[in-house]
Amino acid sequence: PYRQEIMVPIDTSLQTAKFQPIDMRVTFSNSCWGTNETIHSIRVGIDDGTGIQEIESQVYDLEHSDDTHIKTCSLVFLIPEGVNGKEKYYVLYDSEETSPANYPKHVTVEDTHYFYEPIPGQKIDFDYYGIRQDGFVIYTVIQKGQLLGNPIAFAVIKFKPNSTTVETYNLDQVGNFDFRYGVNAVPEYFGSSWATDITKTVLVDGNLMIRLRVGGISPRGDIQSDNIYTYYYSPTIAKRILVDAHHEILKTIDIDDPTTLDGCYGGITSIKSRSASIEKMNVGEILPSVYIYDEENTIQEFS
């Protein structure tokens, strides 16, 4: 019986808007029935002039007025493919109990471990959250561990398209979201990627969006990282993960060798390994360039 129009924050007439996720806060003008993230009366509809059609959606971060009614919540849905910018979006709901929506769960997360030691002393050994979409591995969010002698806490590994298992030969690229600085040692850096006492939480586990939190302090007690990782379902070839990285310097750090590394809070690591005898070591590709969108709203190229 109730509907409220949703004003989406992007121009949906643009081709780039198709399948983009919308994640916004909604406050209900009337009484909205619901008990949790899956049992509720909330639906999202789109009207292109021919009537309202229901589209898949997800709710989270509910604020209740009582045990069975919701005052406000966060709402997730995707912009459909065949829109032209003239359509309207609505949130529809009921004050009385309704049957829950039965949308397919496109994204899932698992909390598990990977170990492989191709050569004695050279280990790939880490705890991770594995993010899958419709059965395929898209990303792993590394909680703690090592990658061939390099600490790898807080990192994200992107996998090749259509990968079904977390294996070395499916690895594409690695994004580093720890805070590190140069030292005279091997490897030539230290920071929160070395953390072993990790806190981890699945903040949201929905049908269209996964949100994870990983935190920890470096063994020297000088850096604390506390990151939030968000992945939205994407039916296109392009896959993206949003990382909200928080780093706190807990005490003064004297950098041993500033020419090596002077306070790095993010990076992209390319890996290439080839072996005629060890199949799993045929992994990765080193791309010729990396492109970074900077604070001046320009794109910088790095060889």
SS percent in the chain: helix, strand, coil, step 5: 5, 55, 45
pLDDT 10s digits, 267-285: 888 888 888 988 888 888 8
> Cβ contacts of residue 82 below 8 Å, gap of 6+?
none
Rg, Å, the chain Cα set: 22
- What type of residue is 108? T
Query: pTM score, two decimals?
Result: 0.93
- Structure tokens belonging to residue 180: 């590190």
Residue of 194, 212, 192 whose CA lies nearest to 203: 212
Name residue 64's amino acid.
H
Mean pLDDT of 60-81: 97
Does the pLDDT at position 259 exceed 80?
Answer: no
Is the Cβ–Cβ distance between 110 and 132 less than 8 Å? yes
The CA distance from 90 to 78, in Å, is 13
256 has pLDDT over 80 = no
Q: pLDDT class for 293, splitting at 50, 70, 90? A: confident
E strand or H helix at 144: strand 136-147
Q: What is the pLDDT of residues 65-74, one digit of tens each?
A: 999 999 999 9
Burial of 259 (0-12, 13-18, 19+ CB in 10 A): exposed
